[in-house]
Amino acid sequence: MAHENISRTAVLLLSVLLAGAAGAQTSPPPPATSPATSPATSPDKPHDDSFVIGNDDVLAINVWKEPDISRSIPVRSDGKISLPLAGEVQAAGLTPLKLEQDIAEKLKNYISEPEVTVMVQQVNSQKFNILGQVTKPGSYVIANSTTVLDAIALAGGFRDFAKKKSIYVLRHSTSGESRLAFNYKEVSEGKNMAQNVRLQPGDTIIVP
């Protein structure tokens, strides 16, 4: 009897092992891993409908997959830029979005479905003037929301006899010229801060 029981046990163990081996052979292999692939992407197109390009601004022109045309280029004093294939293109007075469209239209004769991106690398056209009793009167580029106080600092501060309470900003608009008073003494003491306005292109600060 003992020998018969041992034989049955051996047969049972052999059956279990064979079943396991068969299951291992029939189980589907893990899916093969492959490098992640990303779909083709087109360049970012920052559409800016507010900023207006002016003379001396530096533009980054990128034409998708066309490195010979893409470049960084300043706007000339006549308001134009020159690009291969596109030729002379009016830039001043346009938004980057409109200039993208104009360049793309000119390139259609040479490139199928050109994708153009225009970014303003450096703003040189938006300037203000500061005149009178400051160390360095002249024209300065407006950058990072320049205020009257910033402008005075850029101009090197006041001369000895500046009338710091009688400063004003001349501003031109479609409705005419306005005069914005600025009392440096008050602002420097943290009073009436509303008069420390952000400058707009074409503003002229007078320091009597």
Dihedral through CA 137, CA 139, CA 143, CA 146, nearest 10? 50
- Distance between alpha carbon 146 and the CA centroid of its chain, in Å? 19
Strand 58-63 and strand 116-122: the pairing is antiparallel
Instruction: Tell me how far apart the alpha carbons of residues 16 and 27 are, in angstroms, rounded to a whole number.
Output: 16
Q: What is the mean pLDDT of residues 98-118?
A: 96
Three-class SS of residue 78?
A: coil
Answer whether residue 5 shows pLDDT above 90.
Answer: no
Q: Please state, rounded to an integer, the average pLDDT across all residues of the chain.
A: 83
When pLDDT is cut at 50, 70 and 90, the band that residue 135 belongs to is very high
Domain range annotation of the chain: 58-122, 127-207
Is residue 105 a contact partner of residue 56, using CB atoms and an 8 Å limit? no
When pLDDT is cut at 50, 70 and 90, the band that residue 104 belongs to is very high
Question: Comparing 58-122 with 127-207, is the CATH topology the same?
Answer: no
**pTM for the model:** 0.60
Q: Using CB atoms within 10 A of its CB, is residue 14 exposed (0-12), middle (13-18) or buried (19+)? A: exposed
Is residue 187 a contact partner of residue 195, using CB atoms and an 8 Å limit? yes
Instruction: Provide the CATH topology of domain 58-122.
Output: wza like fold (3.30.1950)
We find that the CATH architecture of domain 127-207 is: Roll (3.10)
Answer whether residue 71 shows pLDDT above 90.
Answer: yes
Instruction: Tell me how far apart the alpha carbons of residues 121 and 139 are, in angstroms, rounded to a whole number.
Output: 20
